[in-house]
Structure 1
Amino acid sequence: MKKLLLFLFIFSITFIMNPEENSAAENLQAMIDSLEEGAVLKLEDKTYEGNIVINKPLTIIGSNKTVIKGDGTGSVIAIKAPNVTLRKVNVSNSSMDRNSAEEYAGIKIHTDGNVLEHINITDSYHGIYLSQAHDNKITHVDITGMGKGEIAAQGNGIHVYYSNRNILAHNTIEGTRDGMFFDYANNNESYQNNISDTRYGLHYMYSDENIFRDNTFTMNTGGAAVMNSNRLLLKDNQFIVNYGNQSFGLLLLQANDNRIINNTFYMNQRGIYIDQATRNTLKGNKISQNQIGIELWASSNDQIFTENLITENTIPAVTIGGTSETNFWSEHGKGNDWGVSFPLTDLNQDGIGDFPITYRSSLYQLMEDQELSYLFLKSPALAIYEKMNAVLVDEKVMFNDPHPLAAAKGKQNIILYLALGLAAVLILIRACYRNLLLKS
C-alpha cells in the first residue's frame, strides 16, 4: 500500500511539473473530436502541440498567446470539413520537406466555406495551402518565411491550387518563395495585402478572371508575374522597389485580355515587362523612376497604352526582339503623359499635344545581345553610346504616341510623390515595428 501511495505521489508531481506534455496533440485532437458540429472551442493562452485535423464544422478561437506548434512531420492544421472558423492563433513548425509528394503547410485547407482571420504563421513550408478549396475567406493573416536567402528551401505564403472564388484580404507576407501563388485558380479576389522580400510577390499560372486590387509589393525580385493567365483585373496596386538582375514590377508572359488599371510602378528595374502577350489594356498607371518604364517584346501584339503617366524613367519604353506595329499607344484619341522627357505644345489647350511623339533608340540591340547591360542603364557611358548611334546608324522606333497628353503634369507628379512618400513611411514603420517585436 505504501508503494502504491508513493507511486501516485510521484506521478502527481510529474504531472504538475510538466503541464506542456499533457497538452499534446492527441488531447487537442480529442477535444476537437469530442465536440458536436457547430460547437465553439476556446483555446487557452498556452502552446498546443500539432499536428491536428479539423474534421467537422467548428469555430476555434484562441488569443494572441495561443500557439499550435507542429511536430515538423506534416501540416500543423489540416481543415478537412467545410464551414470551419479559425481565429486568433499562432501556428508554427510544419514539415519543411520540399521533396515530399504532399505539400505541407502551416494550415492546409481541403474544403469550402471556411474563415481564417487574425492568424500568425511562421516556420512552415507553405503558410496556407488551399487544395481544391472554394469560397474561403482568409483575412488579417501574417506569414513570415525564412527570407530571400532560403527561397529554394521553402514554399509560398498563400498557395491556391485548383481553388476558386476565395477572398484573400489584409494579409502580410514576408520572406517566402512567392507571396501568393495561384495555380489553375479562377475568380479569386485579393485586396489590401502587403507582400515583401519574396521571389514574386504575386504569381499567376493558368488562372483566369481573378481580381487583384489595392495591394502593395516592395523589395521583391519580381512584383507580380502573370503567366498563361487571362482576363485578370490588376487595379490600384503599388509596385515599389522590386529590384535585382532581370527584375520587374509586373511581368505579362503569354497573358491575354488583362486590364492593368491605375497602378503605380516606382523605382523598379523594369516597371512593366511584356512578352508573348496579346490584347492587354494598360490605362491610368503611374510609371516613374524605373530604369526601364516599359519593356515590350515584339512577340506581343495588340497592347493598348492609354492615359498612363510615364515619367523620369532612365528609358521610358523599349521594344525588343524585332518590330511590332500592332501595339497601340493611344485609345479614343488619348495617348500618354510622358512628363518632361518630351516637351509638348498644346496651343488649343485641349490637353492633347499638337504633334505625335516618336522615340528612337539603339539600346534595344545592346539589351538583346548583352543581358548584363540592364545593370548599367544609369551609367553615363550608355548616354554617350546612344548619342553616337544617333549619328552613325538609323535608330529603331521604340514607340509612337499619336496623341500624347499634355495636361496637369505638375499636379500629377505632386500627387504621385505624396503617395509614394506615404508608402515609404508606412514601410519604414512596419519594419521598425517588426524589429521591436523580434527584440521583445
Structure 2
Amino acid sequence: MKKLTLLSLVFFLFILIKPEKNMAAENLQAIIDSLKEGAVLKLENKTYEGNIVINKRLTIIGSNKTVIKGDGTGNVISIKAPHVKLSHLTVTHGSMNRNSSEEYAAIKVYTDNNIVEHIHIRHSFHGIYLSQAHHNKIRYNDIKGLGKGEIAAQGNGLHVYYANDNLLEKNTIEGTRDGMFFEYANNNHSYENNISNTRYGLHYMYSDDNIFKKNIFTMNTGGAAIMNSNHLKLEDNQFIVNYGNQSFGLLLLQANDNYIAHNTFYMNQRGMYIDQATRNIIKGNRVIQNQIGIELWASSNDQTFTLNRISENTIPAVTLGGTGGNNTWSKDGKGNDWGTAFPLTDLNQDGIGDFKVTYHSSLHQLIEDQELTNLFLKSPAIKIYEKINATLTNDEVMFTDPHPLAAEKSSHLPVLLAVIGLLLVVFILLKGRHLLCITFGRNGRKI
C-alpha cells in the first residue's frame, strides 16, 4: 500500500513538472487553453478528439500514430493565432457539409506566419484552407480525398483564398476535387508538389504574380487550369497523362502576360489549350506524344512560341474559331523544333531550318463541331479524312514557323519518357486507372 501511494505521488509530481509533454487528457482543447503563449505540446501515439481552436502561439508536435479526429461538424483544427506550428499529425473527419456558409477543412488557417508540415489528412471537405492568411509555410503534407466517384462532392487539397505570399512545397495530393485552388491569391510560391487523380491539379482564378515550379501532375482531368490570372511563372513542371475526352495538360483561359517555360507535356489529350489569352510567352517546353500538341483559339492574341520541342503529337498544333490572333511562332529568329513531322534542311549548320514550316489541316472544323472527334484522332480514318479534304478543298493554315529549329541530334529525353511510361504502367496496374471526364463550360459549351 505504501509503494502504491509513493508511485502515485511520483506520477503526480511528474505531471506537474512536465504538463505540456505528458498530459494525455481526453480534452485536447482544454490542454491547449491551459498552455502559456509559445509553449511546445508533444502529443502521444493516440487519437485525440477535435474539433480544436488554436488561439495562441503554440507548437504542437505529434508522433507516428498521433491522430486528431474531428466530430464531422466543422474544421478539425482552426488556427486563429499567428506563429503556430503543427507537425507530424494525422488529421481526419472534418465536416463534409457543402451547404454551410463556411467551407470547412481538416486544417483551416486564418492568420499569418504559421507552419503546417508533415501532416496526413483524410476524410475532410478541404484539406488545408488558407483564408486571408499570409506568409505561411505549407509543406511535406499528404492529402488524400475520397477519389473515384466522389470528386464533385468534396473540396480541394490546398485551398488558397485571399491569401498572399505563402510557400506551398513538397505536398502530395490525390483524389480531391482540385489539387490546389487559388482565388484572389497573389505572390504565392508553389514548388515540387505532386498531384494526381483530381479534376484540375492546379486551378487559378483571379490570382496574379504567383510562381509555380517543379510540380508534377499525373492522371488528372486537367493538369493546370489558369483562368483570369496574370503575370504567373510556370517553369519546369511536368504534365503527364492528364487524359479523357477534352482533357488538357495546361489551360490558359483569359490569362495574360504569363511565362510558361521548360515544362514537359507528355501523353495528354491536349498538351496546351489556349483561349481568350493575351501576350503569353511559351518558351523551351517539351510538348510530346499528346493527341493535340497545342490547341489555340483565334480569340487569343500575341502569344509567342519559341524554342519549344513539339514532336510526335497526333496533331502538332491547331487553330480553332477562325483566323487571326497575331500569334507568333518564333522570336529573335528562333522558332520551334517540330521533330520528324517536318523534315528540314540546314545547309549552313546554324541550327535553323533553311525554309519556313507551314502546317495545313482540315481537322479544325471537325474538332470544333464534333466534341467526340478527340476520341478518334489516332484512328486511320482521320488520316483518310485529311487526305480527301486536301484534294477537294484548300486546307487552312494552322501555323507558320518562319525559323524552325533543326531537330536535336541526340537527347536523353526518349529514354526518360520510356522510364516515365514504364512507371505509369506500374502505377496503373497497382492503383487502377480511374480517369475522370469532368468538363467545364466555355462560352456556354463543353470543352
Give the alignment's TM-score, normalised by structure 1: 0.91
Match of 1:420 among 389, 396, 417: 417
Per-residue deviation, 1:369:
1.1
Q: Distance in 2 between matches of 1:363 and 1:138?
A: 45
- Amino acid corresponding to residue 329 of structure 2 in structure 1: W
Are residues 1:51 and 2:48 paired? no
Alignment of 1:107-256 (within 5 A): 107-256=107-256
In the other structure, the counterpart of 1:270 is: 270
The percent of aligned pairs where both chains have the same amino acid is 72
Alignment of 1:56-67 (within 5 A): 56-67=56-67
In the other structure, the counterpart of 1:74 is: 74
Q: Distance in 2 between matches of 1:284 and 1:386?
A: 30
1:148 and 1:199 in contact (8 A); partners too: no
For the residue of structure 2 that corresponds to 1:128, the secondary structure is strand
2:339 and 2:407 in contact (8 A); partners too: no
Cα displacement string for residues 67-96 of structure 1 (whole angstroms, at most 9, x for unaligned residues): 000000001000000000001000000000
Per-residue deviation, 1:416:
1.9
Change (3 A) 1:362 1:425: closer
Q: Distance in 2 between matches of 1:58 and 1:298?
A: 54
Change (3 A) 1:205 1:325: closer
For the residue of structure 1 that corresponds to 2:141, the secondary structure is strand
Per-residue deviation, 1:418:
3.0
- Amino acid corresponding to residue 396 of structure 2 in structure 1: K
In the other structure, the counterpart of 1:10 is: none
In the other structure, the counterpart of 1:400 is: 400
Are residues 1:85 and 2:52 paired? no
For the residue of structure 1 that corresponds to 2:140, the secondary structure is strand
- Amino acid corresponding to residue 122 of structure 2 in structure 1: T
Per-residue deviation, 1:421:
3.9
Q: How many residues align?
A: 409
Cα displacement string for residues 406-431 of structure 1 (whole angstroms, at most 9, x for unaligned residues): 042x423xx22333344456667778
Which moved further from structure 2: 367-376 or 267-276?
A: 367-376
Give the alignment's TM-score, normalised by structure 2: 0.89
In the other structure, the counterpart of 1:315 is: 315
- Amino acid corresponding to residue 333 of structure 2 in structure 1: G
- Amino acid corresponding to residue 281 of structure 1 in structure 2: I
For the residue of structure 2 that corresponds to 1:130, the secondary structure is strand
- Amino acid corresponding to residue 305 of structure 2 in structure 1: F
Change (3 A) 1:384 1:332: same
In the other structure, the counterpart of 1:9 is: none
Q: Distance in 1 between matches of 2:384 and 2:214?
A: 40
- Amino acid corresponding to residue 57 of structure 1 in structure 2: R
Q: Distance in 2 between matches of 1:111 and 1:425?
A: 44
Q: Distance in 2 between matches of 1:427 and 1:116?
A: 30
For the residue of structure 2 that corresponds to 1:151, the secondary structure is helix
Structure 1: 5+ residue stretches without partners: 1-21, 436-440
2:300 and 2:325 in contact (8 A); partners too: no
Q: Distance in 2 between matches of 1:433 and 1:136?
A: 35
Change (3 A) 1:32 1:425: farther
CA-atom RMSD in angstroms: 1.6
Alignment of 1:21-32 (within 5 A): 23-24=25-26, 27-32=27-32
Change (3 A) 1:226 1:374: same
Structure 2: 5+ residue stretches without partners: 1-23, 433-447
Per-residue deviation, 1:34:
0.7
Cα displacement string for residues 230-280 of structure 1 (whole angstroms, at most 9, x for unaligned residues): 000000000000001110000000000000000000000000000000000
Per-residue deviation, 1:304:
0.2
For the residue of structure 2 that corresponds to 1:411, the secondary structure is coil
Cα displacement string for residues 100-124 of structure 1 (whole angstroms, at most 9, x for unaligned residues): 1111000000000000111100000
In the other structure, the counterpart of 1:329 is: 329
In the other structure, the counterpart of 1:295 is: 295
- Amino acid corresponding to residue 288 of structure 1 in structure 2: I
In the other structure, the counterpart of 1:105 is: 105
- Amino acid corresponding to residue 59 of structure 2 in structure 1: T
In the other structure, the counterpart of 1:411 is: 410
- Amino acid corresponding to residue 183 of structure 2 in structure 1: D
Per-residue deviation, 1:391:
0.4
1:148 and 1:198 in contact (8 A); partners too: no
2:319 and 2:399 in contact (8 A); partners too: yes
1:94 and 1:104 in contact (8 A); partners too: yes
In the other structure, the counterpart of 1:14 is: none
Cα displacement string for residues 39-71 of structure 1 (whole angstroms, at most 9, x for unaligned residues): 100000000010000010000000110000000
Change (3 A) 1:201 1:60: same
Which moved further from structure 2: 180-189 or 148-157?
A: 148-157
2:60 and 2:86 in contact (8 A); partners too: yes
For the residue of structure 2 that corresponds to 1:390, the secondary structure is helix
Change (3 A) 1:99 1:63: same
In the other structure, the counterpart of 2:360 is: 360
1:135 and 1:165 in contact (8 A); partners too: yes
Q: Distance in 2 between matches of 1:208 and 1:342?
A: 37
Q: Distance in 2 between matches of 1:425 and 1:385?
A: 33
Change (3 A) 1:116 1:431: farther
Change (3 A) 1:431 1:47: farther
Q: Distance in 2 between matches of 1:138 and 1:255?
A: 26
Per-residue deviation, 1:148:
3.7
Change (3 A) 1:428 1:363: closer
1:352 and 1:403 in contact (8 A); partners too: yes
In the other structure, the counterpart of 1:16 is: none
Change (3 A) 1:325 1:29: closer
In the other structure, the counterpart of 2:438 is: none
In the other structure, the counterpart of 2:339 is: 339
For the residue of structure 1 that corresponds to 2:78, the secondary structure is strand
1:148 and 1:176 in contact (8 A); partners too: no
- Amino acid corresponding to residue 419 of structure 1 in structure 2: L
Per-residue deviation, 1:23:
4.8
